[in-house]
């Protein structure tokens, strides 16, 4: 049986492999390109500010005017049309997909091991009777993974804030 330290050592090796993976390299490159693209930064900043202003209006019970909606569409179009933002988003999705696959592989192996010793995978804290191993209690949905954080919105180096 491996020790905790052995597992952590292997996890570091996986982390190093992820750092060297093509998806990571593409994400790093896309981020550097995006950080030097002032047009992209301005587009995302303008879009986020307008979106926030509309949310505040809505929260205050004020109507969203047609020109506000048109401006939002225009700002959204500027974001969508920016090639560097699109490349970043694609690279980010590829990276998150890699992390998801790694998470699934680890979860699958550990769930299989738990199932082999009596089905303990579905009987832990937060599990509902009869729920699938690894699913949120009674929801039929996979439980949130502790291994990855798919919300990488903070990973834009402060862009759009």
What's the predicted TM-score (pTM) here? Answer: 0.64
pLDDT for 117 equals 76
Q: Which residue has the higher pLDDT, 132 or 21?
A: 21
The Cα 68–Cα 58 span in angstroms is 12
Q: How far is CA 33 from CA 43, 46, 88, 125, 153, in A?
A: 15, 19, 9, 44, 17
Least confident among 35-44, 69-78, 149-158: 149-158
Per the CB < 8 A criterion, the answer to whether 89 and 33 are in contact is no
* R_g over Cα of the chain: 21
Residue 134: pLDDT band (50, 70, 90) is very low
Per the CB < 8 A criterion, the answer to whether 56 and 88 are in contact is no
Residue 1: pLDDT band (50, 70, 90) is very high
pLDDT for 110 equals 86
The Cα 22–Cα 34 span in angstroms is 18
The CATH number corresponding to 17-108+153-161 among 1.20.1500, 3.40.1350, 1.10.4100, 3.40.50 equals 1.20.1500
Residue 118: pLDDT band (50, 70, 90) is low
């Amino acid at each position: 049986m491996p020790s905790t330290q052995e597992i952590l050592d292997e996890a570091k090796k996986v982390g190093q492999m992820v750092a060297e993976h093509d998806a990571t390299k593409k994400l790093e490159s896309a981020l550097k390109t995006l950080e030097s693209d002032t047009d992209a930064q301005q587009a995302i900043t303008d879009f986020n500010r307008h979106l926030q202003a509309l949310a505040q209006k809505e929260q205050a019970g004020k109507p969203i005017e047609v020109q506000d909606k048109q401006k939002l569409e225009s700002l959204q179009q500027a974001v969508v049309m920016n090639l560097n933002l699109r490349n970043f988003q694609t690279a980010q999705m590829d990276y998150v997909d890699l992390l998801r696959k790694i998470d699934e592989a680890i979860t699958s192996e550990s769930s299989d091991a738990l199932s082999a010793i009596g089905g303990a995978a579905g009987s832990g804290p937060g599990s509902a009777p009869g729920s699938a191993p690894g699913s949120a209690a009674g929801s039929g949905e996979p439980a949130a993974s502790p291994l990855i954080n798919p919300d990488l919105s903070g990973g834009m180096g402060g862009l759009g804030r």
